[in-house]
Amino acid sequence: MRLTERKIAAALRRHGYKLTPQRRSVIRAIASSQDHLTPAAIYLKVRQDHPSIGLVTIYRTLDILVRLELICELHAGGSCHSYTTGAPEHHHHLICSNCGEVIDFSGYYLTELEQRLSRETGFKIEGHLLEFIGRCQNCQQND
Amino acid sequence: MRLTERKIAAALRRHGYKLTPQRRSVIRAIASSQDHLTPAAIYLKVRQDHPSIGLVTIYRTLDILVRLELICELHAGGSCHSYTTGAPEHHHHLICSNCGEVIDFSGYYLTELEQRLSRETGFKIEGHLLEFIGRCQNCQQND
DNA sequence: ATATAAATGATAATCTTTTTCATTTACAGC
DNA sequence: GCTGTAAATGAAAAAGATTATCATTTATAT
Ligand SMILES: [Mn+2]
Ligand SMILES: [Mn+2]
Ligand SMILES: [Zn+2]
Ligand SMILES: [Zn+2]
């Protein structure tokens, strides 16, 4: 279950950020989409009901939301960065290399591996990135 | 054990690519460095003994080398993409969020998870990205 | 040596992201 | 409801990263 617009907005405020119409709009754009969106795509969506917003504000807002883990960031694919609403539970991504569809999956944990790495290297692990790339069923057929 | 300049060059040829001095130079730059290098950093290094090379050639060469899995690509961090020599064995990366040090580790496989995902989603898995971010021992001390 | 397809580099175009700074605004406190 | 203030915004520009085009050069098979 993904975080709702309302919850994300509340969390923003809780962390001391002001709740501006621009930020609401960015959050709505992300939360109302199933897909993962690039900053440019979010910009386009947001401008529909907020024509004067600057692209800078998109970037600044995304920064904050990622930092607070309210949205999640994907790294793979062409334009490299894109965003979807975060889920309260820890999860990872499966991405179609052809159409870009993203599937969240959960129930897989890397804690043991993290402990092993920490022990063997002395690193203090802060996070990880686990993504699978593949072809979705649709794209396998339409080849 | 990382792939050597010689082996990478040989593999390039084996796949039907011409072995130009520019490509040799890019390979040498990567293979002679412990670090992972951005395209821009590789460009700077290569220009030392090949001043007239174009940045485009760097990008084109990196493309090929990644495709043939002769070098490996990192996604994390500031400029997002950087490259190190590939290792013959499958491995993943542990990256220091402060100084950028990269540690390869192997012996961890995701085949079971890939099968589960394939079964549950119908995706045909093509690859994955697994990276850990943390603080190396050095950077933990010098805080 | 020659022929030829592949590779290169100059140039420009196109994106993406970050900086700077003057103006505006959310909201805490009264 | 006002007011003050720090935070947020947007315009503009700069900086960075990546890709496209195309005439010229070059590696290599024959
Ligand atoms: Mn997700
Ligand atoms: Mn590696
Ligand atoms: Zn697909
Ligand atoms: Zn470090």
Same domain, B58 and B103: no
Same domain, B12 and B57: yes
**Are the beta carbons of A65 and A8 closer than 8 angstroms?**
yes
Chain-chain contact of B124 with A140 (C-beta, under 8 angstroms): yes
CATH of the domain at A74: 1.10.10.10
Residue B35's SS3 state is: coil
Q: What tens digit of pLDDT does each residue of A52-99 get?
A: 999 999 999 999 999 998 998 888 766 678 888 777 688 898 988 877
Tokens in use for A135?
A: 């072809």
Same domain, B11 and B75: yes
Q: Residues 44-73, chain A: which have Cβ under 7 A from strand C?
A: 55-56, 59, 63
Residues in chain B with CB shorter than 8 Å from the CB of A110 are 132
Same domain, A68 and A16: yes
Per-residue model confidence (pLDDT) at position A73: 86
Per-residue model confidence (pLDDT) at position B119: 96
Residues in chain A with CB shorter than 8 Å from the CB of B127 are 132-134
Residues in chain B with CB shorter than 8 Å from the CB of A130 are 128-130
B13 pLDDT tier (thresholds 50, 70, 90): very high
Domain count, chain B: 2
Place of tokens 């509340």: A10
Check whether residue A23 has its CB closer than 7 Å to nucleic acid strand D: yes
> Nearest residue to D19, CA vs C1'?
B56
**Are the beta carbons of A60 and A43 closer than 8 angstroms?**
no
Same domain, B57 and B97: no
Same domain, B133 and B65: no
Same domain, B57 and B125: no
Alpha-carbon distance A107 to A91, whole Å? 7
Same domain, A62 and A103: no
Q: What tens digit of pLDDT does each residue of A25-59 get?
A: 999 999 998 888 899 999 999 999 899 999 999 99
CATH of the domain at A133: 3.30.1490.190
Same domain, A40 and A67: yes
Strand nucleotide closest to residue B58 (CA to C1') = C8
Predicted TM-score (pTM) of the model is 0.83
Please name the helix (run of DSSP H) or strand (run of DSSP E) that holds residue A71, with its range, or none: strand A71-74
Domain that holds residue B118: 92-141
Per-residue model confidence (pLDDT) at position A77: 64
Strand nucleotide closest to residue B23 (CA to C1') = C7
Same domain, A80 and A97: no
Same domain, B80 and B106: no
Same domain, A100 and A56: no
**Rounded to a whole number, what is the distance in Å from the CA of B48 to chain A's nearest CA?**
30
Q: CB of B109 within 8 Å of any CB in chain A?
A: no
